[in-house]
Amino acid sequence: MSNEITVTSQGQVTTGVDQFTNGLTAYLGELGLPSEQVLVPVGERTRVINNLPEVITLVDPAQRITSIYLSKFIAACGAGLFDAALNFIWDETVLNLRKKVARFDIEYFYDSVVTDENRRKKLRSEDDLVKLDEWELVRGCHLTGILSDIGYKHLDYIRDMRNWASAAHPNQNDLTGFQLISWLETCIKEVIGKEPEGPAIEVKRFLASIRNNTLSAVDAQHINAGLEHLPTDLGTSLLRTLFGMYTAQAAPIQIKNNIRMVCVKAWEMAPEDSKYECGLKYATYASNGENDRKDAANEFLTSVGGLPYLPKDTLAVEISEKVNNLYIAHTGFNNFHNEPSHARLLDSYISQTGTIPDSVRKVYVKTVVMAKIGNGHGVSDMATSYYDSMLSKFGEQEIREFVSLLVDREFSSRVCLTSCRGGYKNLATYFQARTTNQISLQALQTILTATDQQLPNLGRDTRYTQLLGSYV
């Protein structure tokens, strides 16, 4: 079936438009109302009417039957009300976007565009789409891949023009026929006559599998391979959705198990800001007393190595708790057996950049170094890899705390022990190659050249404490 449109009455429409204009102008004059700048000149309207047949062929015939706002657009153009016509273009586009979202994945869409938890709870079905602002609808369609990058940019511009150059606001802006027909063509090509394709369809299938199937290891491999090709924007919305599904109240175990098989790859593909967004939600659950959701968020972030993305205040609280637990395990009974689990958990909160909140840095450095050099009876072999991991992330601030440990009485007592003293000096040698700060280098050299008797007492040595006081 051909999509071509034959308009045998095009000349009649143009003649009718001219007659309508003359008649309406005369009638307005009889009523004593202004008739100038009310209707667009007939020439501009003719440009739209002459170009409409070719543009309308871009819409499937079956879809034209229900495109009421396109009919209103044409009527408004013929009447010379271009500002109203622009409204009708936009109304048809918005209506079509809502239908596409409803057929796509409504939960995924809401998770992608609405970040406020309280507001998100009120959005559940297709009927709730009207509660979204139109800019949110357009942005959400872009985030979920329903709209392409170029389509999003075009629609955002048309939306802006609709807001400021249409009948939506009182104005005297002039709109031309070519502008209107161009915007109509864009809306048809990017929305009305176009269906989601490529990555967006893959995400829809993927989420359907997560919700409805029990994934095998082979299924997960295929999904993870597919995720590597997602655009960045889809990576953002997908991570939001997986995190939201995992932390939802009474989330089914099947869904959680499925998510655990693919969440690491989704996390790797997502941009940094969306990772911090997950950390912020964890903090929100904690502050609101939503313990079940907080625990689920902790599980998710632990699975993907995302605990370092917690907000600084929350991260400080969490690290402080884990440091204290490690200290208790290290100084308690059967420490070689108890340390590894606490060391592993603490290490999971430390990012690859080694960023440590200021409020916990001192106790963090002290505990990790004490555990690494041992208690005189040896070191927990099963925890050593975690200590080495954390020590490898020490930056200049941590090295500064390392050389200042000798001022601490508990620590200075520890290095009285031969094995601990040797371990501390080994670390001093290790850090020499990792700093360029002259004060740190001098302090490390002092530690390395100190005798067995001098080392435990350096924290009370005036020259050494003056050197530490040189830090700005």
- CB of 141 within 8 A of CB of 100? yes
Residue among 447, 324, 318, 424 nearest 376 (CA): 424
C-alpha distances out from residue 131 to 88, 105, 155, 163, 287, Å: 20, 17, 19, 18, 28
Question: Among the listed ranges 26-30, 178-182, 314-318, which one has the minimum average pLDDT value?
Answer: 26-30
Query: What share of the chain has pLDDT > 70, as a percent?
Result: 91
Mean pLDDT of 287-293: 92
Residue written as token pair 């625990």:
295
> Residue 305: which region, alpha, beta or left (left: phi > 0; alpha: psi -120 to 50)?
left
Q: What is the pTM of this model?
A: 0.72
> Does the pLDDT value for residue 203 go beyond 90?
no
Single-letter code of the amino acid located at 260: R
pLDDT band of 4, cuts 50, 70, 90: very low
Higher pLDDT, 264 or 149: 264
> Does the pLDDT value for residue 170 go beyond 50?
no
pLDDT band of 172, cuts 50, 70, 90: very low
The dihedral over CA atoms of 146, 150, 153, 158, expressed in degrees to the nearest 10, equals -90
Question: Among the listed ranges 144-148, 301-305, 327-331, 337-341, which one has the minimum average pLDDT value?
Answer: 144-148
pLDDT band of 342, cuts 50, 70, 90: very high
Number of neighbours of residue 8 by Cβ within 10 angstroms: 6
Convert 140-155 to b/e letters by CB count within 10 Å (16 or more is b): bbbbbbbbbeebbebb
User: pLDDT digits over 207-257, tens only?
Assistant: 889 999 999 999 999 889 888 887 777 888 899 999 999 998 889 999 999
Longest CA span, the chain: 112
Q: Return the structure tokens found at 379.
A: 């070191």
